[in-house]
Amino acid sequence: MSERNSFRGFRKREPTLSTEQKIESFILRNSKNGYFTKVSTIPYKFEISESRAWDIVGEFLSNGSLESIHDENTGDMKLCESGKTYSIMDLEKKRNREKYSKNKNQKNTKQKKENIKK
């Protein structure tokens, strides 16, 4: 007999979540972190068909567990936890402003450096 330990150390696995539960937890996690989830990302992330993704999203919206909004620029549907739409929109605007001002500052410093070299 070998001196290896038996398989007593293995634990029983907890039941895995269904696809719907995984998608809902993903959307809720994103909204808690201050981000929307685009519906177009769900089929790629969870490897399901686009029609199945829309069916699942429709169920969540009809249950009232999630809210949706459409992107002003692209028209994509975005999802978030109920009641968090406006707070996430404010965070998104702040991030965009910071991103724009950061890019603007970088361009200005590059232009100043080029003017100094001339």
Q: Which pair of tokens denotes residue 57?
A: 């999203």
Q: Which is higher by pLDDT, 103 or 114?
A: 103
Lowest mean pLDDT among 20-34, 58-72, 96-110: 96-110
46 band by pLDDT with thresholds 50, 70 and 90: very high
Q: What does pLDDT average to over the chain?
A: 85
Q: What are phi and psi of 74, to 5 degrees?
A: -100, -20
Domains and CATH numbers, the chain: 16-117 (1.10.10.10)
Amino acid at 60: F
Q: Which residue, among 14, 17, 15, 12, has the nearest Cα to 28 in the 3D structure?
A: 17
